[in-house]
Structure 1
Amino acid sequence: MASNPLNSLELCQRFNKPLILSSRQMNWSGILVEQCQSPVSTYEVELPALSDHWLSLHLGNSTSLIQKRGDRRHESILHEGDNLFIPAGQPSYWCQDKSGITCSPLFICLKPELIQQVAEASDMDSNRFEFMHCFGQQDSQLHQIGTLLFAELRSGGVMGKLYAESLAQVLVIHLLRHYSTLTQPIASQNNSFTRIQLQQAIDYIHTYLSRDLSLAELASVVNISPTYFASLFKQEMGISPHQYVIRQRVEKAKLMLSKTDLAIADIALQVGFSSQSHLTQQFKRFTGMTPKQVR
């Protein structure tokens, strides 16, 4: 067993799959997303138990695959959008018995600590449920979340850690609801921020608007869990923390466009966007105009 708890690079090596993209340098909390190139030749591999939960989304050509986990053997044809889910601590066997077929699966590794954090914030006992294997099935909602994470991976993390980590929270809740032995519904949070806590979070966002804010960072300001924070913030403000941050960046950029002579690219960086094109994209989405039109 590898010592690195999010070692999907070793997964690629075990399968002899070259790594194409990785979120390692983006430092997303609790989640690692990577894309690999599947070999065109027949392969057979036994994979030891992983310390993290592993989700594989099939992208590309349809291919046949034989899987074994424990005493269960499953032979299937994987199609675009099919997902495979392997809970932490579960060894597995894989065999692709047709050559000449290429695909580029998306690997998503989730730390058990993230699962526990989301479960506890939803009033669940993380020791009283288990995740279940998924040998390959279509799940449109899961595929949509995976597609959004994939787009963010390909962009180089243009939307920032807050966006990726918010998607990770949504992904975990979906897995808990549909891929676990959980019998009770996930509790909704009926509590609310105090006025002081909400103002503290908002003040922090405005103070560090240019920073690549993360969900954990914002939650730590009011000393609650990231999942709880995201839920309560949306409950109070009507939009997610990520949407609020983007909106405030656009508003600040609008003010700077009218009050300063700074270049648009410099304004973009000063308000927290990764580039001028990212500012333009979000600016047009919120105002219907481009920064150049406003100036």
Structure 2
Amino acid sequence: MSFKPMFGEGSIKARGNSASPLRSVSWINSSVIFDNRRWECKEAELRWTAPHHLIVLTEAGRTSQTYIKSDGRDIYDGRDRSGDITFVPAGVERVGVYRDTKLSYSALWIDPRLDLPGCKNLSDLRLLINSRDDLIASLLRSLCAETSLGHKPSSIYVEHLTALIMLRLGESNNIRKAKARREPLSRPTLARVREYVDANIGSDISLTELAAVAGMRVDSFARRFKAATGLAPYAFVLEERIRKAEILLGGTDQAIGNIAIRLGFSSQSHFTSTFRRLRGIAPQAYRMNFIPES
């Protein structure tokens, strides 16, 4: 059978093919897309060019052979294994063959126009097939774990995770970077950002929004915000949500589900797991400790 790839131009011709999408989630107007699925086939031939950068983690399974070439050159001839990382820059054609495929994988699609640290350099990087990087694998596994529970992580968290992956790819490809500025945000700028977070705590706040409030580029803002507060922007927003949750749990009788939605969590279970992870106690138990009659 022959079918079109998820994005871009090309075709995949497969024999004995079975593809099972498990989950797909997007953020920032589909500038970042996470896709997790299983794929089995006896043999597949592909020719594919995508408009987005693609990063793939092989979660489990294997192939008996994976052969990839690009721009008329042989790039890889080996096997897929659990933990392998593949990176395909936007606009780069992949031509290849997969044999005896039985894989579970997670794919992160990134729009090359995305204004995040490291994104502009990705187009200059070389194609990587079945490389190893424990940090990138860990970040993608954490995103997979969150979405597998039915949670949709916040945009600011996904932007931070995506930026870390892109910067790591740049480092692994020996991209030389200018030394980053380390000056913290000014007090008035930091105050504006804090006010914005406080006013929009129930919304899906993005890193791009916060940088715009500060009147800065995203990469400069993220560095200088951390220099000023000791926290990455996504961690600061999360801490603010939990701090406000403590106030509401201890000072009101609002239902925990209502508190979760009010503070921008995707569900009560997402709020509960996050609160427990950061405070070491479940929200209901926290409330019981501070309001015994509840």
TM-score band w.r.t. shorter chain: 0.7 to 0.9
Indicate yes or no: 2:169 matched with 1:190: no
Indicate yes or no: 2:237 matched with 1:245: yes
**Who is 1:34 aligned against?**
35
What's the secondary structure of 2:61's corresponding residue?
A: coil
By relative contact order (CA 8 Å, sep 6+), the higher-ranking structure is: 1
2:253 equivalent among 256, 261, 277: 261
Contact kept in structure 1, 2:8 and 2:50, CA below 8 Å: no
**Who is 2:53 aligned against?**
53
CA apart distance, 1:151: 2.4
Q: Which has the higher strand share?
A: 2
Contact kept in structure 1, 2:60 and 2:105, CA below 8 Å: yes
CA apart distance, 1:157: 4.3
| Deviation readout 1:109-150 (Å, 9 max, x if unpaired) | 222223x65259xxxxx5898211112221112211221232
Indicate yes or no: 2:169 matched with 1:175: yes
CA apart distance, 1:11: 6.8
Contact kept in structure 2, 1:28 and 1:165, CA below 8 Å: no
**Counterpart-to-counterpart distance in 1, 2:112 and 2:130:** 22
**TM-score, scaled relative to structure 1:** 0.84
User: Which letter does structure 1 place at the counterpart of 2:72?
Assistant: D
What is the 5 A alignment of 1:144-183? Answer: 144-179=138-173, 182=175
**Counterpart-to-counterpart distance in 1, 2:194 and 2:150:** 27
2:268 equivalent among 276, 286, 292: 276
**Who is 1:67 aligned against?**
68
Distance 1:11 1:140, change over 3 A: farther
User: Which letter does structure 1 place at the counterpart of 2:259?
Assistant: I
Contact kept in structure 1, 2:157 and 2:234, CA below 8 Å: yes
User: Which letter does structure 2 place at the counterpart of 1:108?
Assistant: L
User: Which letter does structure 2 place at the counterpart of 1:31?
Assistant: V
Aligned residues: 277
**Counterpart-to-counterpart distance in 2, 1:71 and 1:12:** 18
What's the secondary structure of 2:79's corresponding residue?
A: strand
CA apart distance, 1:167: 0.3
Contact kept in structure 1, 2:39 and 2:104, CA below 8 Å: yes
1:231 equivalent among 219, 223, 226: 223
What's the secondary structure of 1:199's corresponding residue?
A: helix
Give the stretch that moved more between structures: 67-76 or 12-21.
12-21
Distance 1:104 1:256, change over 3 A: same
CA apart distance, 1:279: 2.3
CA apart distance, 1:198: 0.5
Contact kept in structure 2, 1:50 and 1:90, CA below 8 Å: yes
Contact kept in structure 2, 1:152 and 1:164, CA below 8 Å: no
**Who is 1:286 aligned against?**
278
CA apart distance, 1:27: 3.8
User: Which letter does structure 2 place at the counterpart of 1:272?
Assistant: G
Give % identity: 24
Contact kept in structure 2, 1:8 and 1:109, CA below 8 Å: no
2:98 equivalent among 96, 99, 110: 96
